[in-house]
A and B are shown apart, each in its own frame.
Chain A
Amino acid sequence: QKEVEQNSGPLSVPEGAIASLNCTYSDRGSQSFFWYRQYSGKSPELIMFIYSNGDKEDGRFTAQLNKASQYVSLLIRDSQPSDSATYLCAAGRRGSTLGRLYFGRGTQLTVWP
């Protein structure tokens, strides 16, 4: 079982709709969670991070964390064609010297006009 699991998609939504991306993690020691956006042929770009249970909003993006269910999600409101990309979920464990992030395979999102 991989540390972080994502549905690979593809997920297709019309422009203006809400896109919902989901991620589960297996290690209860995971404490930090990140969403990255990756355009084809480019490197990952940080969108949001979340440490605490509940919702965290930043513009059109909302990250949700439920540690009891080991579940992280990203909502994109008013989706735009420019949001079409692969979205990577990543988790980090707690510990001052621990550094690695565990990534899922990513969910490919297409927003059509």
Chain B
Amino acid sequence: TQLLEQSPQFLSIQEGENLTVYCNSSSVFSSLQWYRQEPGEGPVLLVTVVTGGEVKKLKRLTFQFGDARKDSSLHITAAQPGDTGLYLCACVIYNQGGKLIFGQGTELSVKP
């Protein structure tokens, strides 16, 4: 059983469309992170959400942390081909240092 469930797993849309990716869990987290990974590269941190109900914006990307701090969403407005990639949510498990636990990821393809 995955600690973090992401949906959808795959998404193929046309340029200009909007989309939302979800990251859900039955556990409560102190924070959640979102990464984007492009082919041939490692994941790059986009944002960290910390407070329940928090909304953060990064240009056309809007990140929300659920009120109960168990889930998060990523909304992209007017998607562009440059948004294509693997989007991953992750939580930090602290135990004398920490480790990242990732969701399975959402593979996004934006066609021109």
User: Does chain A bind chain B?
Assistant: no
Which positions in A face B, CB cutoff 8 Å? Answer: none
Which positions in B face A, CB cutoff 8 Å? Answer: none
